[in-house]
Amino acid sequence: MREPMIRGHLIMNTATSLRALCDPAEGRCFDDALSLELRIALASMQQCGWYSRRLQVELLTCFATVKRQEDSIYAGFIRCGESFVLHENPFSALLWKVLTPELFIKKQPKFWIRDHMGGGHVELESLHAHGARMRLRDAHGYDHGAIVWLGWMSRALHEIAPQGVQVMQTGWTPSTPAPADVAYEVRW
Amino acid sequence: MDQELTPSELLDLRERVVDALIALSEVGFGDYSVDLTVDAKNRHPLNSVFAGINELVSAFGIDQEQASAFRRELEEKLGIVEKQRAAIRELSTPIIELWEGILCLPVVGIMDTARSTEMTNALLQAITAKKTRYAIIDITGIEVMDTRTVDHFMRMARSIRLLGAECALTGMSPHIAQTVVHMGLELDDIVTHRSLLDALTHYVNRSP
């Protein structure tokens, strides 16, 4: 079976945003905990390149280890996901202008495939005028990835429909970082 | 007269544009393998727009590939130039041990600040490493000497003296000697000898 891959720009943004959320002492621990493989990969990473998802998981796990507290871990991953929207390119910025919340949700499987190769998929369960339910399935081994995705969705929806957006998940906890299924409930 | 779009046609149009923008957002990150779907059977007006975008992205991808190849080539050439420069630097500062305790630095070509600094560093290191008492700077190969060049040698001589060694300048041509006098330059800090042989004989005789 092929190893799950992820786009370079996600890993690069994750590294930068999580590091920025650490205080000096945490930052040193975070830096020390990163493997040589990850550091080498980060030094020459291409935004559009595909890289092993292990690298992303390593970053997220290091952050969780450094932060320890559940609230800080959750908030950090949400901020990390939000940073993907803030560092998107001009085409994405245009995308937020054209999308409606319904269309954004409908396109979630496509967005997932754009940034991930193998190792899980997004399924839309229901979609109505002011909400939707969907699931991230089969993302075994993608520790904390579901929360980063939630952060990205929330921020993107906020760009599309600035008021009253709510995205909730069930399935992830710091002690079960990569459940087989994560359910998302979206309201706008 | 323009035909108005029905809500479902409008939604379809929006969805197609969104699909295209999702694909183009990959281009924004540098992935030029993107290919927007063009349905040849369907005469949707966006088909020709997407076909045009595909062509542009493909052309841009080729340009980017060529630019990367040129950049790599240029970096390789710059690397070679830097290596050659280092080799030239090394060759331009040949320090020869003529006798026990006597070093010689033959200078050829033009002296500038960077070269002078390198020469001084190399000579001072050699003097320390070999416990040298006499350092001879032979300028037979220098054609032009101006105030700045003289200043370089003066500084070099002073540095050598600080290490407890003596410095001599040899091989000064009549033309340079005239220039030095004409320009009123002082060479008081430097011992001069007519030739390298003279200086060597002098120092060998003084050696214990």
For A153-188, write each residue's pLDDT tens digit: 999 999 998 888 999 999 999 889 999 899 999 999
Give the mean model confidence (pLDDT) for residues A121-146.
94
| Partner residue opposite A107 with nearest CB, options B22, B26, B29 | B22
- Average pLDDT over chain B, rounded to an integer: 87
CB contact under 8 A, B28 and A114: no
Rounded distance between C-alpha atoms, residue B153 and residue B112, angstroms: 11
Interface check B18 vs A, CB under 8 A: yes
Rounded distance between C-alpha atoms, residue B109 and residue B102, angstroms: 23
On chain B, the residues whose CB falls within 8 A of the CB of A47 are 29-30
Interface check B81 vs A, CB under 8 A: no
Confidence band, pLDDT 50/70/90 cuts, at residue B39: confident
For testing the chain B interface, which of A85, A99, A108, A115 should be mutated: the one with the most B CBs within 10 Å? A99
On chain A, the residues whose CB falls within 8 A of the CB of B26 are 48, 114
For A:49-88, CB contacts with B below 8 A are: 88
On chain A, the residues whose CB falls within 8 A of the CB of B20 are none
Confidence band, pLDDT 50/70/90 cuts, at residue A149: very high
pLDDT > 70? residue B1: no
pLDDT at B2: 61
Give the mean model confidence (pLDDT) for residues B78-105.
88
Size of interface A-B (CB pairs under 8 A): 48
Interface check B29 vs A, CB under 8 A: yes
Interface check A1 vs B, CB under 8 A: no
Which residue would you say has higher pLDDT here, B184 or B192?
Answer: B192
Packing angle of the helix pair A8-20, A36-43 (nearest 10 deg): 110
Kindly list the distances between the CA atom of residue A72 and the CA atoms of A69, A79, A174, in Å, as whole numbers in the listed order: 5, 10, 11
pLDDT > 70? residue A116: yes
CB contact under 8 A, A110 and B22: yes
CB contact under 8 A, A107 and B24: no
For A20-35, write each residue's pLDDT tens digit: 999 999 999 999 999 9
Residue from A20, A135, A5, A27 nearest A79 by CA: A20
User: How crowded is the C-beta side of B153, counted as CA atoms within 13 Å?
Assistant: 30
| pTM for the predicted model, two decimal places | 0.69
